[in-house]
Structures are given as C-alpha cells and as structure tokens.
Structure 1
Amino acid sequence: MKRREFTAGLAAASMAMGWSSAFAQAWPDKPVRMVLSQPAGSGPDATARMIGEQLSRRWGQAVVIDNRPGGQNAIGALVAAKAAPDGYTLYFATAAALVSNVYLFKNLPYDPKKDFVPVGLVGKVPFAISVNNGSRLTSLKDLVAYAKANPGKLAVANEGPKTFSGMMTRLLALQLGVEFNSVPYVSVGAGVTDTVGGQVEVLLSDVPSIAQMVKAGKLRPLAVTTAKRIAGWENVPPIAETLPGFDYAGWLAIVAPAGTPAPVIQRINRDLDAVLLDKDLAARLLAIGPMTEGAGTVDQMAAFLAAEHARWAKLTKDLNISPE
C-alpha cells in the first residue's frame, strides 16, 4: 500500500513539474504588469520603463507600468501582493518597500517577507553629501570640524526622519560624534533648491537628484555613502575612508507575488539579468539612477534581502527607532 502511495505521489509530482515546465515555456502569452509605488516621471518609474521596454522585446508582449504611489509604498506593494501569482504581475520595489518599512511602521497592510518571492536585483542607488558650491566646507573633514565646533548649527537637508536620507543623517551624526540640525523636506527637489539657494548649507540625497547641479557647478559633493567610489565621480571619496565599513545605498529590485511558479521566476530572472548586463542600457540607467551589475540569481537576491533585513534591524536599533 505504501509503495502504491509513493508511486502515485511520484507520478503527481512529475505531472506538476511537467505542467510548470509547460507553463513556463508558454509564458508570457499576454501583457505583463509591473507595479510601482512611485509616480510617473520619478526615477524608479523611468528605470522601470527602460527595463520594461527591453523585456517586452524579449517576451514579445507588452510590459505595462502600473503606477500606484502613496502610503509610504504600501499602496503599490499591497496591489502587487494581492495579485494572482501567475507570472503576469511583478513588483518593481524599493529598499523601503521590501525592507526598511518593516522597522519603521506598525501594521503594514502587507508582509514583505511572506507576500513576495525574489526575482532579481536591478541596481543600487548611491547617496551623497553635498554643499553649495560657495560653501566654506570643501571636504568631509571640514564638515566634521565645523559641526564639532558648532553643535547643532549645521543644517542638513534630507527627506525626513524615516527616509533613507534622514536616517543616514542621524547615523552619520552618531558615528562622527557630531550634532546636526536635520532639516526635513517634502521632496528631494525642494532640498536641492534650498541648498543651491543657500537656505541650507548641506544636503544628503541620492546622487541622481544632484547630478545636474553638480555638473553645472552649483553643488559640490563631499562624499558618497557607498564603500567604493562611483563611476563618473571618482574624485569624490566614500564616507568609508573616514568611517571604515560605512556602506549604504538605496536599491531597486523586482519581486513577484508569493506562489508564482518557480520556472517562470527563473525565466524572468534570466531575462532580467541579460537586459541589465547590456552595456548600453547599464549606461543609460546610471545616468538616471541605479548602478547595475546584473540581476544575480534568485538565490543571491534572497540572500541579499536577508542581509538587508539584518542591516536595517541593527541600524534602527542603533538609532533607537521604533515602528510607529
């Protein structure tokens, strides 16, 4: 009897594997939706559209960008999490949506760990400390010296206490042993405008948001938050040269609703990796945001997410931040 049960189970498993393989081969036979938590015209939106265009060519089906902004990423994340796990809905996610929100907000309407399965990493978005080009501060060393001599007087513009730039401002103050006057802005663009105009002296923001102002000579970058120097900004030192081990960046990734067939996940991962490794596309992406080295494997993406959760759990604990 047990042998019959085993044989029947093996046959059922084989049929399931055969069905999954056939499904993956037929996929996609209709447009694929890519949900974003950011509005049209944003950096992530432009990135998603570039990638979607290339994937569409490979798949012979349209990749439809579905912008669902608001709610600290929760609106878009919930839409994607509730979608049928059939391979036709993907979530183009930020680090906030998949990791940091867990440690900052109570009662999220979605569970990043349970509601999604990893597909691949799109790329990392470096942040930078910059000043008005007329500032007396010409290096991170100058900034630290001034902040120590004038506790609480150096205004640092960022996007708010529970954003990436806001927490980096607090973390830097803690690790450098200084006190900043953290000035929250409703958008990074407003912070850039006030820093250029001299209303605040220092800005902590993502690199793409200040690239044009740096090129125009209106802002001067002092340091980047990644451990290594970044392409095109080789003369800007990383904070890690002052604080060894300091290595933080925003990032973008693609995930799918939990339950999406594994063969389809592997197919999307493989095609995403090929698209991101195209030198022309990688250069176009770098001009507007993320630095990419390919999607990596599904397992590598899972390991990356686990490491990011550990990192943000420690970061929020060090900064004494509790979910609210």
Structure 2
Amino acid sequence: MCGINVLNFDAKEFVAALDAAQGAHLDWSRKILRAAVLRTDLCADVVQKNAHELCLFGQFLESHNIAFNALHAERSKQLSHVHKQMHDAIRNIAGPISQGLPGKEQDFDLFERTQAELLEHLAYFKTHAIHHYTQVDNLTGLPLRQRLEQDFARKRPTCQGQLALMFIDVDHFKSINDFYGHHIGDKVLQHLVVQTHNLLAPGQSMYRYGGEEFIITACNVPDANTAHAQAEFIREFLNETPIIMESGEALNISVTIGIAIAQPQEPLEKLIERADQAMYIGKKQGRNRVICAPTEESIQLLNDSKTGASKFSGSSL
C-alpha cells in the first residue's frame, strides 16, 4: 500500500520560507566572516550553547518540522544534526577570536564541511517540495494524475493478475458545498481519503483525479467479480462511516464507483474512460452503487448475439 500524508502540506509556502531561511543563514555567515576579519565580538545567538535554536534558520527548522519530516524524516534529522554541528564549530572558533587569537584549523574545517552539507540538504528538500507540489494534492496528500501515469506504466508489466481501475465520485458533492460551505466539502474529501486509504490492500494505490473524483488502481486482481467486491466493500464502509461535524451533526456521504479491467495493450486514457462511463451509468441508476464496465470483447459478443437473434427471428423456420 502506498504511503499517504494528509497534512494539508503547502509546498509553495514551504519553498518560499526555505528560500527566506537560506537567505537568513547566508546573512548569518557573512556576519561571522565580518567579525572574524574585523576582530569584533559575536552576538549572543552565535556563542551560546543553544545558538542553533536562536538563529533565524533554527527557528525555521522548528516551525516547519512537520513538513521536513513529511518529505524525508531521516534526512530531516540529519539536517538538524548538521546545523547544530555547524554552530558548535563556530562557537569553538569564536572563543579564540574574542581573545585576539587564531582559531583551530579543525574547527574551521568542520564549519566548512557542515555548511556544505547543510546547503546540500536544503537543495534536496527544495527539489522534493517542488516535486510534491506538482505531483501531490495539497488537500488530501494523494498523488495526482502525473503520478498515476508513471505508476501505471511501471506496474502494468509486473502485474501478475488483472489490473483493475476504480473511478470514485462523491455523490451530491456540489450540494454539500452549497449547503455546508467549501470548508466542509474539503473535510468530506479528506474524510473519504483517510477512510478509503485504510482499506487498501498491497498492490492498490489511490490518486486524486480532480474535484471530487478519485482513482484506485488494483494490481493482481483475480477477476472482475473480485474487483467489484472490493469496490462494494469500500462503498458500504463509506456509507456507514459518517463525518461528525463540530455541531455534533453526522453527515453521511455516499459514492458511486465505476470499475474497468485493463485489456491487453489498452492505454490508460481508454481504461479511465471506460471506468468513468461505468460510474456515470451508476449515477444515472440512482447513485451509491458499483458498476463494472464491459470489455470491448464482451460488447462485441453481445452485439453478435443480438445480430444472430435478429436473424433467427426474421427467418421462415
């Protein structure tokens, strides 16, 4: 099962704040160099033991800790450690300088190394935050269409059984937005994603396709009946799991799901189109149901049988 991070992670804000924090760090570095050259005293936020927490960059790390961990928890720890090491090196350098003495070469080497590592970590996080913004939905934390296309191309050759695509649409979503407001509409989508994602099995991934539409891909499905049963389980679970609003009111939601089983060499666009059409049929039939799309082969067989029946009924036998 793919990971999910429903954090309402604002990648644009994060990148802007990261750029500002990096600028503050460079200003701090210039201040250190100026003090070393002119032999002036360094500020308290440089020589204190918790200087790494007092500087503007350290405050940025603390205030954006959740975002850093969401992007890469282990690398976030490394960034914090390197930042502290860099401040420790500067504090060791500042002592002799304040007494008019040269600092130790190993302290300066440590400062240069840790500063280079810090900038390398920042470049990594900025790249991945931009990647997050372009491929991950800010509201739900789900991957978007671009990731769906990439994953489909990667998974399809290795899929042992059938590959099923479920097209999920929230029933009466516009009415929910109109009556309760877009804030509640967003809560509905987040609720649906969290509840549905908890039901996914290995080999299944969920994507936000647009608006109130979501897609689940399920690899290694034995047959269409199994895919239908899995989708029906999701539909029933959501039907029985209302959102409890701040007022205490329970808001029930329902979904209509269209399913299509990928045919040999079938493009993703065509597969999505068939699942979407099946979902639309479900809407027309009253919503809150699961509909399987027929394959082109089964449609042809049905048409052939109808043609044969027509010929038989028109014969003189």
Task: Tell me the TM-score normalized by structure 2.
Answer: 0.24
Structure of higher CA gyration radius? 2
Task: Tell me the TM-score normalized by structure 1.
Answer: 0.23
**Which one has the bigger helix percentage?**
2
